[in-house]
Amino acid sequence: MNGRLPVLLAALAKRLPSHRMSDPQRHLRLADGPADPLLDRWAAAHPAAGLSSQLGAMRAAWRDEAPGLPGTAIALSLSTADAYEQTEAPPAELVVSGPTSHAIPVRLTSAIAIDVIRSARDSLLIASFAAYKIAEIVTELRAAADRNVRIDLLLEESTAAARAFGQLHGQVRIWHRADVSARGSLHAKVIAADRRIALLGSANLTDRALSDNVEIGIILRDPRTVGRLVDHLRWLTGPEAGFLQPV
């Protein structure tokens, strides 16, 4: 089978964790074809952000490329894609700032942060509680913007983190908490490139956190896990969550 349908089925398998795959597979097995109203009702009722449009694209490809295939065949294809996704993921890699030891191989946070930013082809999603004195990171973000990478910065307003990115006006989208009077803060520290690789840990985007402070983090190279992380952070910017709003 050629065309968009295999790609879209693989993307759907990557998006949903295995324990939630049985529901779409069951509905697909019961569906007579891509236009079955049963699939409309399931998509409308599913809470995952953006899943309805993703399922709609898959059904459109099913209709255009293989309308004679029964729902059981599509369900089997989805199950096969999910099984393939369960192959062993690349191990998480430890990242540190500050003194290093011989206990375990590690890489420095500053170098990894730059590597992740440079690896982005389509999008960068970055969250940080604080940000300052990060000229090299800003330079790398400008280079990413110049190669048409979409950049979203989820920043804590109370720390004035957005000031560190003032030179990137018009090249990035900055998000703050919608209700700054509410309890809690945006305390996550994440750099995610596309849906493939992510650096997360204790380090803020500051010169000391990236180099001098004792900080611990990991780098994930499992697209399935990274994809779910990106979906959650993007959900925070959407109307359903109402947690973040663009500056």
**Using CB atoms within 10 A of its CB, is residue 6 exposed (0-12), middle (13-18) or buried (19+)?**
middle
DSSP string over 196-229 = TEEEEES--EEHHHHHTS-EEEEEE--HHHHHHH
**Type and span of the H or E element at 96:** strand 93-97
Closest by CA position to 237, among listed 194, 178, 195, 150: 178
Residue 203: per-residue pLDDT: 95
Q: Tell me which of 66-70, 104-108, 118-122, 209-213 is least confident.
A: 104-108
Which band of pLDDT confidence, cut at 50, 70 and 90, is reported for residue 89? low
Q: Which CATH superfamily is domain 93-246 in?
A: Endonuclease Chain A (3.30.870.10)
105-163 pLDDT tens trace: 677 899 999 999 999 999 999 999 999 999 999 999 999 999 999 999 999 999 999 99
CA 169 from chain centre, in angstroms, equals 23
Share the mean pLDDT of the chain: 88
Asked if 218 and 102 touch (Cβ cutoff 8 Å), the reply is no
Asked if 62 and 8 touch (Cβ cutoff 8 Å), the reply is no
pLDDT at 241 over 70: yes
Q: Tell me which of 17-26, 214-223, 233-242 is least confident.
A: 17-26
Residue 80: per-residue pLDDT: 83
Residue 183: per-residue pLDDT: 83
169-204 pLDDT tens trace: 999 999 999 998 888 899 999 999 999 999 999 999
Which amino acid is residue 173, in one-letter code?
A: R
Residue 127: per-residue pLDDT: 98
C-alpha Rg value of the chain to the nearest Å: 20
Q: How far apart are the first and last CA of the chain?
A: 45
Q: Report the number of secondary-structure helices (H) and strands (E) in the chain.
A: 9, 11
pLDDT at 53 over 60: yes
pLDDT at 84 over 70: no
Residue 7: per-residue pLDDT: 86
Query: Which of 5-19, 54-68, 144-158 tops mean pLDDT?
Result: 144-158
15-40 pLDDT tens trace: 776 667 788 888 899 998 999 988 88
Residues 6+ apart with CB under 8 A from 20: none
**Type and span of the H or E element at 174:** strand 173-177
Q: Say what the pTM is.
A: 0.67
In angstroms, the CA 186 to CA 129 distance is 6
Apex 204 CA angle, 198 and 208, nearest 5: 125
91-101 pLDDT tens trace: 788 888 988 88
Domain with CATH 3.30.870.10 in the chain: 93-246
